[in-house]
Structure 1
Amino acid sequence: MEFAYPTHPKRYFITGIGTDVGKTVAASVLTQALEADYWKPVQAGSLDDSDTHTVQRLVSNSKSVFHPEAYRLKMPASPHTAAAAEGIRLSLDKIQAPETQNHLIVEGAGGVMVPLNENDLIIDLIQRLKLEVILISRNYLGSINHTLSTVEVLRYRKIPIAGIIFNGVPNDSTEDFVLYYTKLKRLPTILWEDEFDQYTIRRYAKTFKDYFAGEPN
């Protein structure tokens, strides 16, 4: 199927039901699929091998632009803790989405209730940026609760959810219940792989291209 780009640029905020659920891999696949720009607003830890560096390595198209983080923090911790260790306070006013006419993939830190400072959470940043969410879920004991809780708080804040990506080892019982209960749109699944490299990302990106080509603009 030939891929037709959406008429209007897509702008998605990639968030997860917690940490280590596959946000960066999913962001890489979506960036490749849409030949989108990529932006990680806050990086905490791993500054020499950041999530932006990872996505750059995995994405192979020549169109994507990788925008600099608003904050780069040394400590691998919750953003508010990492910022406090450097004697700074994260400010939503200083986190402005990059200007681009291209599609934009924005990757969050942890889940939606991760604190940025004493008052603001990741979910407040999502609202401020006015972005549609793609939710990443991974199957583990407790993931149903974490997924439903995340969906509930997003809907309470009236934040639109474009769909859910299940990442990792499939579990039909869990996934079927989540989809039945939330009525979320299911995006293509990203399976557990021994290694994610450019070839693997391109393979998944083809599936997502076909998905987006079938979506109304």
Structure 2
Amino acid sequence: MSERIFITGTGTGVGKTITAACVTEALAADYWKPIQTGLMEGTDTDTVSSLLSNKVSVCHPEAWRLQAPASPHLAARLEHCTIDMARILQLADQYQPVSRPLVMEGAGGLMVPINEELFTLDLIVALKARVLIVAQNYLGSINHAMLTAKMLQHTGVPVIGWVFGGDHHSNEDDVVKWSGYPKVGRIPLTDTVDKAFVQQQAQLLSTSLHSLLA
């Protein structure tokens, strides 16, 4: 089976979707977000698709598209449905390219519930994916980053490394040192996120990604 890369974050709004676009572009991978909530705000799949320049990547349709801008379990509850992990696993096998990675984007962080019993971390384990952690620097970010790292270490999930976003800060070096996970790169703040920006950042991430995935 080709590589599965699951992009998670230390929280909500830390830059997972932009990171997913850059990683997908860098690896000429396929992209899939299994669960999309908050449809009124648009979909991350549409965002990623609009930012890719290569002619190879496919952005696959979500398994669940839910209206409420809430955690998956709550958004599903409001629509009187249940997110079934077995269906996600079935579609992952269906969407997995033969010779290219499948980049998957989660909702929020590791302990976001996807239904009444399972969390995003359980999904990652079942998918047998390797994880890229997206983090930003803000008050409390070290705590969020290290809790994420410790949970992944505790469960034995393989981690590719960190992608940092926002303003640069020395906290990045501390998080890398304390977690033992390498820094894949960083994606800076910009006023304009477009294809040119994603292509540029993809080139900067490419060497590290290919080296860590080898």
Normalised TM-score (structure 2) = 0.94
1:74-107 Cα distance to aligned partner (Å, 9 max, x none)? 1111101100010011111111212321211000
Match of 1:180 in 2: 177
Which residue of the other structure, out of 45, 61, 66, is the alignment partner of 2:59?
66
CA positional deviation for 1:179 = 1.2
Q: Structure 1 runs of 4+ off > 6 angstroms? A: none
Gaps of 5+ in 1: 1-7
Q: What amino acid is the match of 1:68? A: P
Gaps of 5+ in 2: none
Q: What amino acid is the match of 1:75? A: A
Match of 1:44 in 2: 37
Match of 1:194 in 2: 191
Which residue of the other structure, out of 4, 25, 30, is the alignment partner of 1:32?
25
Match of 1:112 in 2: 110
Counterparts of 2:206 and 2:66 in 1: how far apart (Å)? 34
* Residues 96, 102 of structure 2: 8 Å contact kept: no
The total of aligned residue pairs comes to 209
Which residue of the other structure, out of 144, 147, 152, is the alignment partner of 1:146?
144
* Residues 39, 65 of structure 2: 8 Å contact kept: no
Q: What amino acid is the match of 1:201? A: V
CA positional deviation for 1:118 = 1.4
Match of 2:203 in 1: 206
Match of 2:133 in 1: 135
Counterparts of 2:70 and 2:211 in 1: how far apart (Å)? 39
Q: What amino acid is the match of 2:78? A: A
Larger helix percent: 2
* Residues 7, 132 of structure 2: 8 Å contact kept: yes
Counterparts of 1:121 and 1:212 in 2: how far apart (Å)? 27
Counterparts of 2:51 and 2:110 in 1: how far apart (Å)? 25
CA positional deviation for 1:209 = 1.9
Identity of aligned residues (%): 41
RMSD of aligned alpha carbons? 1.4
Normalised TM-score (structure 1) = 0.92
Match of 1:95 in 2: 88
* Residues 163, 185 of structure 2: 8 Å contact kept: yes
The reply to whether residue 10 of structure 1 matches residue 8 of structure 2 is no
